[in-house]
Amino acid sequence: MTASATFRARYLLPVARPPLENGMVVAGVGIIRYIGPFDAARIEGKLTDLGEAVLMPGLVNAHCHLELGGLKGKLDAARGFVDWLRQLLSLRGGQTPESVRESVLNGLAEARRSGVLAVGDISTDGLSKAVLEGARARGVVFREALGLLPGRALSAWQEVEAFLEAAWGERLKPGLSPHAPYTAAPSLYRRLGEAAGRRGIPLATHLAETREEIEFLQTGGGSLGEFLKERGFVPAGWKSPARSPVRYMESLGLLKKRGIAVHGNYLDSEEIELLARSGWGVVFCPRSHRFFGHERHPLPELLQAGVPVALGTDSLASSGSLDLFEEMREGFRQHPAIPPEQWVRMATRTGARLLGLNDLGSLADGQSADMIAVSYAGGDVYENVLQADPPSCFFLTTGAHRSKPEERG
């Protein structure tokens, strides 16, 4: 749209500052031009009065695997992570480009229904990029790279180079994702880290996700080591780094780069301090954490140390939906001492910052006018948002791809 539009709501939830009662947002060409108390003299264009609602920035799902949407409900973790991994690789072998495209489109639609307006999507073959571009999605497509074997690590790097050289628009940005310390060679990690730093794009890696990962890095053995060797994924003569995941990243020079540790389920106090000093962030996926039966997440310690923590849903192979409201609620159930305000921040502003989408995640002059509205039922505004369900949530965008409020769900 080219004309300005004005939105009024019972509450504005800017995130970066306290809630504002009886507030208004004036937006034009997809950008917020004014946010403040309702003032009839400041109305520009059509006024949309949202009534008893909370107007807030759209949610940011900082970690998902949209390509795996077709695997929903087909895997279980009853026999542990390694068995789940076997199931995953077996089922992935039956995917086709068309089924992947359908998974991405369906996943994006589901995410949008729950107020998610930007995603950090991990793409195994880079296939989701074209689909998300066609759907005018916002976010980052992380090109995943795997290869412990020298030849595979080299071909993975060449695939990454081609991915980076493709044309990129304003709404969708590239990111890089060496999959995990047990699937990506040191040379691949270093190359991707250097490329991400050189281009100023985010780097994300699954880190400290399982006890099996830690055992493999420390000793080269355990059930994960046996599985990788059985599949021929480990080079002959390979020696374990004999370090924990975060210390391994430090030894590779990766902590000097801008990075995101996905999951971070098993971190000791020294590792948390290393992440805090490095500026790395963590993406916590509460429902995936529950699915695998992990031990208590060190979220309180991470926040206390000043590590930025965002929220993600992970894939539908380990989570029941792409609903980030449910992710907030599950996280709150696991960590009830962490207040609702923090969960809302993790699902908006922190996620946007970790992904480098600095115009998202808060309501302020000059920020994106892509917003969502949640029905207000009374009481504390943050608690109200935490209890919202998709049927009571709809999103508003004033960008070129949508010109009017739309009911969702």
Q: pTM to 2 decimals?
A: 0.94
Instruction: Give dist(CA 183, CA 301) in Å, integer.
Output: 28
pLDDT, tens only, 230-266: 999 999 888 999 999 999 999 999 999 989 999 999 9
- 180 residue type, one letter: A
| C-alpha pair distances (Å), 166 with each of 108, 124, 129, 211, 215 | 22, 16, 10, 37, 38
Other CB atoms within 10 Å distance of the CB of residue 316: 24
Burial 132-169 (b: 16+ CB within 10 A, else e): bbeeebbbbbbbbbbbbbeebbeebbebbeebbeeeee
**For 168-190, what is the mean pLDDT?**
96
User: Among 116, 113, 118, which residue's Cα sits nearest to residue 392?
Assistant: 113
Alpha-helix residue ranges (DSSP H) falling in 44-149:
81-92, 97-113, 128-134
Q: What is the largest CA-CA distance in the chain?
A: 74
Q: Is the pLDDT of residue 404 over 60?
A: no
Query: Backbone phi, then psi, for 35, in 5-degree steps?
Result: -140, 130
pLDDT, residue 92, reads 85
Residue with tokens 């992947």: 100
Instruction: Specify the CATH architecture of the domain 4-58+362-396.
Output: Roll (2.30)
| C-alpha pair distances (Å), 7 with each of 21, 24, 32, 170, 218 | 13, 5, 11, 25, 55
Instruction: Give dist(CA 303, CA 297) in Å, integer.
Output: 12
| C-alpha pair distances (Å), 284 with each of 206, 306, 311 | 11, 15, 5
Task: Identify the band that residue 407 occupies on the pLDDT scale cut at 50, 70 and 90.
Answer: very low
- The structure tokens listed for 25 are 């947002």
Q: Is the pLDDT of residue 211 over 90?
A: yes
pLDDT, tens only, 131-163: 999 999 999 999 999 999 999 999 999 999 999
Instruction: Give dist(CA 242, CA 227) in Å, integer.
Output: 19
- The structure tokens listed for 95 are 């995917």
Q: Is the pLDDT of residue 403 over 50?
A: no
Average pLDDT, the chain: 92
Task: Identify the band that residue 409 occupies on the pLDDT scale cut at 50, 70 and 90.
Answer: very low
User: Among 203, 189, 182, 205, which residue's Cα sits nearest to residue 85?
Assistant: 182
* DSSP β-ladder status, 20-28 and 31-37: antiparallel
| C-alpha pair distances (Å), 134 with each of 115, 256, 405 | 19, 35, 21
Spell out the domain ranges in the chain.
4-58+362-396, 59-355
Residue with tokens 């992904």: 355
Burial category of 303 from C-beta neighbours within 10 Å (exposed 0-12, middle 13-18, buried 19 and up): middle
Q: 320 with 287: CB under 8 angstroms?
A: yes
Q: 159 with 123: CB under 8 angstroms?
A: no
**For 281-302, what is the mean pLDDT?**
98
In angstroms and rounded to an integer, the radius of gyration of the C-alpha atoms of the chain is 21
- 155 residue type, one letter: S
Structural element, H or E, at residue 57: strand 53-57
Q: 116 with 324: CB under 8 angstroms?
A: yes
Assigned CATH class of 59-355: alpha beta
Give DSSP secondary structure letters for 184-216: B-HHHHHHHHHHHHHHT--EEEEES--HHHHHH
pLDDT, tens only, 67-90: 999 999 899 999 999 999 999 999
